[in-house]
Amino acid sequence: MNKLRIAAFLLVLAFLTAVLFTACGSDQPGSSSEGTTGYQYDPEVGMGGDTLGMIYASTYQDRLYYFPATLINIVGETEFNAWAEEFNFQYETPDGTKRPYAEFNLISFLEDFSISKEDFFSCLKSEYEVMFTDEELEILYSGTAAQRVAAFISPCAVAVGEKIYTPQWIASHSAEELRAAGLTASQLEEKTQTWSNWITDQERLNALTQSKTSLGEAELRTKE
């Protein structure tokens, strides 16, 4: 099972790497075929679709779930793989025995391994500078929770203050739990088109629609 999980992770990592370099070398608007010059990450476009359900389970934009080889090499592949085993992967249903996939990101990596600012900037700027501005790198490394939410929240997630709720969380909790978290039907309504643009699994879209409807009905009952 461990080998299958790591293989799945490497598949996603390879996909994101391919998308990253394709974007850097494409002739699409906002990019340049001459290299990285002129390319700018767009959170509403991301690095390429709902890869194996990634966006469904993510609190942050997909660029925070990509780990350059230079960054992994700081801690070593063995240590990195052991760390990755602590998390549910995006295609797994959380069961409470592992950390949620949403936390499998650059911020957790920096904190868990105590990566120095010098090493972090050196790795990210050498392999990844087309994806982050200098200001964003500063926020990634030492920003407040509010700054990170503002800069990096996934287009499909919903924020209530400094707390981010993923589509996966929204779809798997009751209307009462959504209300207790501070979520509103209008917030979910605002995400409907974005969910349709990003999430390719119809069953998941249906679950999100049901959550939105149930929350709206619960709000109406409260007003009666």
Instruction: State the average pLDDT for the chain.
Output: 79
Q: Bigger pLDDT: 91 or 82?
A: 82
Query: Inter-axis angle of helices 134-142 and 145-152, to 10 degrees?
Result: 140
Q: Which of 74, 97, 69, 95 is nearest to 85 (CA)?
A: 97
**In 58-187, beta strands by DSSP E:** 158-160, 163-165
97: DSSP letter: S
User: Quick one: pLDDT at residue 33?
Assistant: 29
Q: Over the stretch 27-69, which tens digit does the pLDDT of each residue have?
A: 332 332 233 334 455 666 555 544 546 889 899 998 898 888 8
- This prediction has a pTM of 0.76
Q: Over the stretch 106-140, which tens digit does the pLDDT of each residue have?
A: 999 999 999 998 888 888 776 665 678 889 889 99
Percent of the chain with pLDDT over 70: 73
Determine the 3-state secondary structure of 77 from DSSP. Answer: helix
User: Quick one: pLDDT at residue 87?
Assistant: 92
Average pLDDT of 63-85?
91
User: Quick one: pLDDT at residue 34?
Assistant: 34
Average pLDDT of 151-168?
95
Q: Bigger pLDDT: 186 or 41?
A: 186
**Distance of alpha carbon 207 from the chain centroid:** 20
